[in-house]
Amino acid sequence: MSDDLNDLKNLMDAATPAPNAAARAKNIALAQKNFETLQGSRNGARLTSDRPNKGFISGVKNMLNQMTSRAGLTASTALIAVGLVAFTPIGEGLLNPGDFWETNVTSAVQENATGGSVSAGNADITLGGYAEFGIGYSEDRSADEVEIYNFRLRNPAPIERDLGLPGSTRGRDSSRPFADEMLAQSDLALGNAADQAAAAPQTLSRRALSESIALGAIVAEEAPALTPRFDQDFDTINPSDPNTETFANEKPNPVKITTETPVSTFSIDMDTASYAVIRNSLTNGQMPNPSAVRIEEMVNYFTYDYPAPTEGNAFQPTVSVTQTPWNADTQLVQIGLQGAVPDVADRPPLNLVFLIDTSGSMSSANKLPLLKQSFALMLAQLRPEDQVAIVTYAGSAGQVLAPTPAGDRSTILAALNNLGAGGATAGQAGLQQAYATAAAMAKEGDVNRVILATDGDFNVGLNDPEALKTYIADKRNSGTYLSVLGFGRGNLDDATMQALAQNGNGTAAYIDTLSEAQKVLVDQLTGALFPIANDVKIQVEFNPAQISEYRLIGYETRALRREDFNNNKVDAGDIGAGHQVTALYEVTPVGSPAELNDALRYGDAAAPAAGASDELAFLRLRYKAPGEATSQLIETPITATDASDAGFAAAMAGFGHLLRDSTYVGDWSYTDAIALANATRGSDPFGYRAEAIQLLRLAQSLSR
Amino acid sequence: MRHTLVMLMSTSDNNLALAAAGGDAAAFSALLERHYDRLFRLCFRLTGAQAEAEDLTQDICAALPAKLQHYRGEAAITTWLYRVAVNAAHDRRRRQASHQKAATGWGDWEINRQAANAEAAEAVDWLTQAMRALPADLRDTLALVLDDVTHREAGEILGVSEGTISWRISEAKKQLAQMRQTEETQ
């Protein structure tokens, strides 16, 4: 580059401004929008029974569409007709109204067929009152070779005969159905011309869109109107929305050596959100995010045949030892807790505060609308003495329904239906107001509960799960329970929801369908809303003489320190009326080939306590009765005599392992999981287990 | 989504463009993000005014998705983008010319508007003014060459031979020098 050109370049560089940031963002957004729209509109034109540009009828349509005006068509036809009448032998024949049909028209058509490209026309001036239509067709796709035949018909019979001629040139061998079709469609062709004309701009626009002839053809305002949009509610597949989902999870529990850490302590977990999230992902055709998989929640989604607690006890622990389905040399210890079902008839009145997220992110059909339906379902389960208040939060929090007796359903439903989504998400302000409302409603003996419905997106105020934890933990002492219902996908903040539910003495559930709402809010309403035991902790001490290694399946987010078991100040999960909690350990008997750790060369474990050598482990449970500060202890030994067959819980645990790509299951595959789940399905009155098997099958197909 | 974007940053522009042509939205965004500034710079040089350059860039952005579907990777994506931009600028000029033709003699409102436009044009510096005064083909060529495009590539973009580009550049230089001289003598 020469020097003067370099000078010029420097000058030019200095003169060139930076692009306007706002315009830049806008233009890029526009381009992305058009890009997306274009992906959606790539489907070809709607299929019609007509072949394009072929055939008499569509030829007529084409002709009418392509002529600049109907008047022009009439005028030119008339001109040709006059010319014909004046200057051709046909015209002479026409001027002499004898047996014109037999002699003239036929000969004209024959002349056409043999002579080629000359168009034959007929005047309508001289012979009014006959049926008339024009037929145009093109012999191949090039539209400029359209020939126009005008026939004048006295009755249908000549049509059939005469049309045989042009028909045969196009290779049609049957003239009868063709003529019928033509007759049937002739008024369609002419009568619909107006509609055709009206539709024409749209056709053109679509063509411009798909072939992109003109640069400015797609402008922001026009694009959505021109192309069909397929707004499905699958946030997960919408490429424009960044996926901001976060999940609460930890690394899978490692295998522990009994001699080193004989005691395993954790808090129970009644949540089922993880299973519903997995189901939602799979039914949308995607493998779930491994961190969305919390195995204990998958296992706890289902109910098992545990014996009911005896009179006066809050719950009944059940232990069983089974063969591990995925490892022949280990065993599964299943610990089940069955909550007591108090008499529903004399349950205390409920004070419910619906805390509803009405931020902009809640607008899709599987969020706010589903939420309204879900609450409406639940409302039918409440009693007249129960009270309901609604607090919403978006950019700011506000009470939209003062505490109202549940008997006044129309008021509550009207308030629910008036909710609309928009704005940011001031989750903390909403929580504050909801707790304040709940405190105002509280009466002695009532159960107070805040039911938070959200997609988890807290973006105003406290939004750090840790900070929220502190806030909620503070509120929990006021005796108000918290339930968290998650809705929608795309920005589901599972981590925040878990933080809220675990620390607010509550449960987290994920509502993806109305049937899930039915399960959580109707079928399990009593359990979901009436806690029978608080801060339930499980501690299992394994006997090193029997068990060399063990591994807790799931409950990663619920681990407790050993010393926290007896500490009444340490919070843990609550169990609701009639609820079940299931925990599974995979244990390796001493001397089993499945032992993963080699024995120490030097160290040796302390000798096991005498007289307890046939016990595999010892189960301790601590719980508080609602409202009490001190905990009660339940103790049970686990022995090999508790053996039974691997149940559905094992199949679900295996499913969870497969979804997390766990190495512990070895070669055990979806096929095995499906077989086990099928074999252990048992009675399945609500079809939940059948659904799980469907999900297994889906996951099997998707993972290939 | 964010994850894929990071991965995409390392793939070559042409692969990105091909992926975008195949309907990959993330690839398309990445591509546009990467080339937007360069596109705008060229648009500014082709039009000589910021507002017009923004409009032109908008036109290009709007039509780019559809155009990109026909990108088959025969030319480098930068060359291809430049060609799109130059063609868009042509179209825009043609539209403006016919609009002006139609608008002449439209009464006071239009006269005032034209006057305002002229004033705005005076405000920009000498070089852009001079660029605007150049014939369209010389201006396009100069804009490309000043953007570090080689003569051969510029020929490819504009659809003329390399020799023509070299001739146009020398011609443009000549004319600019002349303009400068008249400016200085005045």
Quote the CA–CA distance of A427 and A394 in Å, as a whole number.
Answer: 8
Q: What is the pLDDT of residue A8?
A: 74
| Predicted confidence (pLDDT) per residue in A420-458, tens digit | 766 666 667 777 788 888 888 877 777 788 888 887 666
pLDDT band at residue A608 using 50, 70 and 90 as cut-offs: low
pTM across the whole model: 0.50
Test the A interface: residue of B84, B146, B152 with most A CBs within 10 Å: B146
Q: Do A19 and B36 touch (CB under 8 A)?
A: yes
Phi-psi region of A198 (alpha: psi -120 to 50; beta: other; left: phi over 0): alpha
Which domains, ranges and CATH numbers included, belong to chain B? Answer: 2-103 (1.10.1740.10), 106-185 (1.10.10.10)
Quote the CA–CA distance of B62 and A27 in Å, as a whole number.
Answer: 7
With a cut of 60, say whether residue A126 has pLDDT above it. Answer: no
Quote the CA–CA distance of A502 and A294 in Å, as a whole number.
Answer: 14
Hey, is the C-beta of B64 within 8 angstroms of any chain A C-beta?
yes
ipTM for this prediction: 0.74
Hey, is the C-beta of B63 within 8 angstroms of any chain A C-beta?
yes
Q: What is the pLDDT of residue A624?
A: 86
Q: Tell me what the pLDDT averaged over chain A comes to.
A: 72
Q: Do A20 and B50 touch (CB under 8 A)?
A: yes
Q: Do A34 and B65 touch (CB under 8 A)?
A: yes
pLDDT band at residue A265 using 50, 70 and 90 as cut-offs: very high
Report which DSSP code applies to A631: -
With a cut of 50, say whether residue A141 has pLDDT above it. Answer: no
Report helix, strand or coil for A387: strand
| Predicted confidence (pLDDT) per residue in B162-180, tens digit | 888 888 888 888 888 888 7
Single-letter amino acid, residue A245: E
Mean pLDDT is lowest, of A142-146, A374-378, A475-479, for A142-146
Size of the A and B interface in Cβ pairs below 8 Å: 121
Q: Looking at mean pLDDT, say which of A267-281, A339-353, A423-437 comes out highest.
A: A267-281
Q: Which chain B residues are Cβ-neighbours of A242 within 8 angstroms?
A: 1-2
Q: Looking at mean pLDDT, say which of A93-102, A442-451, A652-661 comes out highest.
A: A652-661
With a cut of 60, say whether residue A158 has pLDDT above it. Answer: no
Q: What is the pLDDT of residue A460?
A: 52
CB A552 within 8 A of CB A583: yes
Q: Do B58 and A27 touch (CB under 8 A)?
A: yes
Residues 6+ positions from A243 with CB-CB distance below 8 Å: A235, A236, A490, A491, B1
Quote the CA–CA distance of A520 and A5 in Å, as a whole number.
Answer: 75
* Burial of residue A19, with CB atoms counted within 10 A of its CB: 0-12 exposed, 13-18 middle, 19 or more buried: buried
Q: Which chain B residues are Cβ-neighbours of A490 within 8 angstroms?
A: none
CA distance A210 to chain B (A): 7
Quote the CA–CA distance of A491 and A483 in Å, as a whole number.
Answer: 19
Q: Do B69 and A212 touch (CB under 8 A)?
A: yes
With a cut of 70, say whether residue A74 has pLDDT above it. Answer: yes
Quote the CA–CA distance of A450 and A431 in Å, as a whole number.
Answer: 9
With a cut of 80, say whether residue A478 has pLDDT above it. Answer: no
| Predicted confidence (pLDDT) per residue in A210-248, tens digit | 444 333 333 333 334 333 333 334 434 444 445 667 777
Tokens of A589: 């008997």
Identify the residue whose tokens are 């501690």.
A539
Q: What is the pLDDT of residue A539?
A: 92
Q: Do B65 and A8 touch (CB under 8 A)?
A: no
pLDDT band at residue A655 using 50, 70 and 90 as cut-offs: very high
Q: What is the pLDDT of residue A100?
A: 45
Facing residues of A584 across strands? A334, A553
Angle between the N-to-C axes of helices A106-115 and A156-169, in degrees from 0 to 180, rounded to the nearest 10: 10
Quote the CA–CA distance of A56 and A135 in Å, as a whole number.
Answer: 5
Considering only the beta carbons, identify the residue of A9, A30, A239 that sits closest to B58. Answer: A30
Residues 93..122 of B with a Cβ closer than 8 Å to A: which?
A: none
Q: Looking at mean pLDDT, say which of A14-28, A277-291, A605-619, B2-16 comes out highest.
A: A277-291
Hey, is the C-beta of B130 within 8 angstroms of any chain A C-beta?
no
Q: Which chain A residues are Cβ-neighbours of B127 within 8 angstroms?
A: 8, 11-12, 15
Q: What is the pLDDT of residue A645?
A: 63
User: Could you tell me which chain A residue has the CA closest to the CA of B176?
Assistant: A8
CA distance A216 to chain B (A): 6
* Burial of residue A69, with CB atoms counted within 10 A of its CB: 0-12 exposed, 13-18 middle, 19 or more buried: exposed
Q: Do B59 and A216 touch (CB under 8 A)?
A: yes
CA distance A19 to chain B (A): 6
Low-confidence ranges of chain B (pLDDT < 70): 1-11, 103-127, 183-184, 186
CA distance B128 to chain A (A): 8
| Predicted confidence (pLDDT) per residue in A527-557, tens digit | 667 778 888 899 999 888 888 889 999 888 8
Identify the residue whose tokens are 């807290």.
A458
Mean pLDDT is lowest, of A116-120, A509-513, A575-579, B20-24, for A116-120
pLDDT band at residue A384 using 50, 70 and 90 as cut-offs: confident
Report which DSSP code applies to A272: -
Annotate A164-195 with DSSP letters as a single string.
HHHHHHTT---HHHHHHHHHHHHHHHHHTHHH
Q: Do A32 and B32 touch (CB under 8 A)?
A: yes
CB A399 within 8 A of CB A390: yes
CB A687 within 8 A of CB A655: no
Q: Do A38 and B64 touch (CB under 8 A)?
A: no
Residues 6+ positions from A263 with CB-CB distance below 8 Å: A539, A540, A541, A542, A562
State the average pLDDT over residues A641-646.
Answer: 65
Q: What is the pLDDT of residue B63?
A: 87
Considering only the beta carbons, identify the residue of A37, A216, A240 that sits closest to B63. Answer: A216
Q: What is the pLDDT of residue A143?
A: 40
Quote the CA–CA distance of B154 and B177 in Å, as a whole number.
Answer: 22
Q: What is the pLDDT of residue B8?
A: 44
HEC profile of chain B: CHHHHHHHCCCCHHHHHHHHHCCCHHHHHHHHHHHHHHHHHHHHHHHCCHHHHHHHHHHHHHHHHHHHCCCCCCCCHHHHHHHHHHHHHHHHHHHHHHHHHHHCCCHHHHHHHHHHHHHHHHHCCHHHHHHHHCCHHHHHHHHHHHCCCCHHHHHHHHCCCHHHHHHHHHHHHHHHHHHHHHHHHC
B84 vs A608 pLDDT, higher one? B84
With a cut of 80, say whether residue A636 has pLDDT above it. Answer: yes
Of residues A363, A379, A392, A397, the one with CA closest to residue A487? A363
CB A539 within 8 A of CB A497: no
CA distance B38 to chain A (A): 9
Q: How far is CA B132 from the centre of its chain?
A: 13
CB A673 within 8 A of CB A658: yes
CA distance B4 to chain A (A): 11
Quote the CA–CA distance of A660 and A357 in Å, as a whole number.
Answer: 31
Q: Looking at mean pLDDT, say which of A30-34, A106-110, A214-218, B125-129 comes out highest.
A: A30-34
